[in-house]
Chain A
Amino acid sequence: MSSIDEDEALTAAALNGSAVAWEKLVRRYESRVYNQGLRLMGNPADAMDLVQEVFLGVYRNLHRFRGDAKFSSWVFRIAHNKAVDLNRRKRILAGTVSGGAEDDQDPLDSVPTDARSEPDNRLVQFEQNKNTMELLMQLPFEQRLIVELKIFQSLTFEEIAQMQDISENTAKTRFYTALRKLKTVSEENHALS
């Protein structure tokens, strides 16, 4: 059974009230949504908030899923919208108006406190992820979102433009601007270290 067929079967079973099917469905996508949350929100607590909101949204709208698109695309569209909402709420709570870089986020928060006790490869992984998050958190949310969709979710600019209701050129420009900013920050970091 292909992954798409399996998604359809699990969705159908969940719609028929199978809690086991629902849990399997969540397990298939939770890690990808959580890691997307880490990259977009910059810390595990907000990433978990995103995971919960996304799957609550999936659950509430499961009966609307028509099957004419891939289930994964549908989940990540919901994840995208929820991330935008969550970021907006956080910005309102923090009292920030501009969409500038969110320096108040400490990327170190994302590293588990017991990382020292992890094996070396886990430490290296946390270190690399920490660096990536530090870089991404230098970007305004809109640019971070484009980088997420383009690099980590491998969407085309056309898909990104549709998802964000912007033109394809705007999506390209945002991506290029984000990449240039990331390059500058990365070079500055190297010069400092």
Chain B
Amino acid sequence: MPCPKTEHLLQEYFADDLAPLAGEEIERHLAQCEHCSQELEALLLTQTQLSTWQDEKTPHWDRGVELFKRENGISKEPRGWFSAWQWVPTAASLAMFGILMLNISFATTESGFTLSFGAEVNDADLQDVVSSLRAEQEAEFDALMARFEERQDANNLQLIQAVMTQTQQSSAENLDRLFAYFEEQRIQDMQLLSQSYQQLVDSDYATIQSLQDLAQFVSFQSSVQ
């Protein structure tokens, strides 16, 4: 059953500085009034639910640092001894790259030292290198050709065998079919011959019958005369 005191009472319950007397009065009422105590319980539960919030991480942003630097006239970071040397690794890398690309060589001799750009070329050595490379390539080419021929021969052999096997099978099948055809023809011919013979026999029989009839008629005619 709704209680007329609920609103005022619970508003006071959530106040920061509740006087002890007022607190006791509220507690006394809550102990007696089921509606108010239930309402308070539900409100406290809601408050607890809200308190489950866990802080989420802030997305990345520049924190106004650029604006701060700009407006405070800090165009660049102060250049200490370290910042003056920060280009050294890059410069060293570039120098090494140049040395590699230009093929720079440094040699000491009895008369001093020599610095040369690009590799020294000796014709005889170059010829040796070229001829050995050519011989190597030729040997490799020959070996490749030999392997190719072997493989090609093996392939051809397999192909011929396959064709022959196919042909043999095909010939046997053809002969079987021819034999079957001849046999069938022979049986048909025999049947035809038998029918023809039977017809001939029947025809002979009919002829004999006719002749007998004729003979009887002739003898009858003779007796009549």
Contacts and interface: CB of A to CB of B under 8 A. Distances in A.
B65 to A, nearest CB: 5
B41 to A, nearest CB: 10
B65 A19 contact: yes
A180 interface: yes
Contacts of B63: 22-23, 26-27, 30, 55
Contacts of A172: 11, 14-15
Nearest to A176: B11
Contact of B72 (A19, A38, A126): A19
B83 interface: no
Interface in A107-148: 125-126, 128-129, 131-132, 135-136, 147
B49 A132 contact: yes
Interface stretch (B54-62, B106-114, B167-175): B54-62
Contacts of A180: 43
A175 B50 CA distance: 13
A97 B108 CA distance: 91
B53 A22 contact: no
B65 A23 contact: yes
B47 A179 contact: yes
A186 B41 CA distance: 13
Nearest to A133: B53
Interface in B87-140: none
A51 B58 contact: yes
B51 A179 contact: no
Contacts of A71: none
Interface string B3-15: 0000100110011
A51 B55 contact: no
B128 to A, nearest CB: 63
Contacts of A26: 63-64
**Interface residue tally on B, bucketed by range:** 20 to 34
Interface in A166-193: 172-173, 175-176, 179-180, 182-183, 186-187
Contacts of A125: 54, 56
Given A31-B57, A51-B61, A151-B51, A59 B46 contact: no
B69 interface: yes
B23 to A, nearest CB: 15
A186 B49 contact: yes
Contact of A19 (B17, B56, B68): B68
Contacts of A152: 50, 53
A147 B11 CA distance: 14
A164 to B, nearest CB: 15
B61 A135 contact: no
B16 A157 contact: yes
Contacts of B68: 14, 19, 22, 59
B142 to A, nearest CB: 60
Interface in B57-84: 57-59, 61, 63-65, 67-69, 72-74
27 contacts: A17-B74, A19-B68, A19-B72, A22-B65, A22-B68, A23-B63, A31-B57, A35-B53, A39-B53, A48-B59, A48-B61, A51-B58, A51-B61, A55-B64, A56-B64, A125-B56, A128-B52, A131-B49, A135-B49, A147-B50, A152-B53, A157-B15, A157-B16, A176-B14, A182-B50, A183-B43, A183-B45
3 closest residue pairs by CB, A with B: A26-B63, A34-B58, A17-B72
Interface of B: 7, 10-11, 14-17, 42-43, 45-47, 49-59, 61, 63-65, 67-69, 72-74
Given A22-B64, A48-B59, A131-B49, 14 more contacts: A17-B73, A23-B63, A23-B65, A32-B55, A44-B59, A55-B64, A135-B49, A152-B53, A172-B14, A172-B15, A179-B14, A182-B50, A186-B45, A186-B49
